[in-house]
Amino acid sequence: MSTLPSLILRTAVRWIAPLLLLFSLFLLVRGHHEPGGGFSGGLIASTGFALLTFGYDLVTARRLLRVHPSALVLAGVGLALASGAVPMLGGQPFLTGLWVTIPLTGEAALKLGTPLVFDVGVYLAVIGATLAMLFAFAEE
């Protein structure tokens, strides 16, 4: 008897996992003005890798992640702390939002700020923590 998951599950995962990762990025970027953000986006991205683990195997999911989950946690927490500390350099309180406007064509402009950097840090930390737990359970 084969221990591989069904062909239907593997085929579905091949299509669904990339869509989940794309949707997680949408939630991450959308989270400043509407519901979403780093936490919910990170959980959706982790779900994509969880499906890869179930549809294929742990080795395939780890190979596609390309980074150890604990490195993602460390990078995410570091990025979140750094985004909070940047305002302190200018004498403002920790986690004060700072924005920079990048002019594009005509009247269009791109507004980036430390809240986005904080959300990216949360996104990475949630992916790393969730996958570290999932991979530990999958090894058992």
- DSSP element (H, E) containing 100: strand 99-103
Nearest to 123 by CA among 70, 46, 17: 46
Give the pLDDT mean for 95-116: 88
Global pTM reads: 0.89
DSSP secondary structure, 30-47, as one string? HTTTSS--HHHHHHHHHH
The mean pLDDT value of the chain amounts to 91
Structural domain boundaries of the chain? 7-139
Q: In this structure, what DSSP letter does residue 13 have? A: H
Q: What is the pLDDT of residues 24-65, one digit of tens each?
A: 999 998 886 777 789 999 999 999 999 999 999 999 999 999
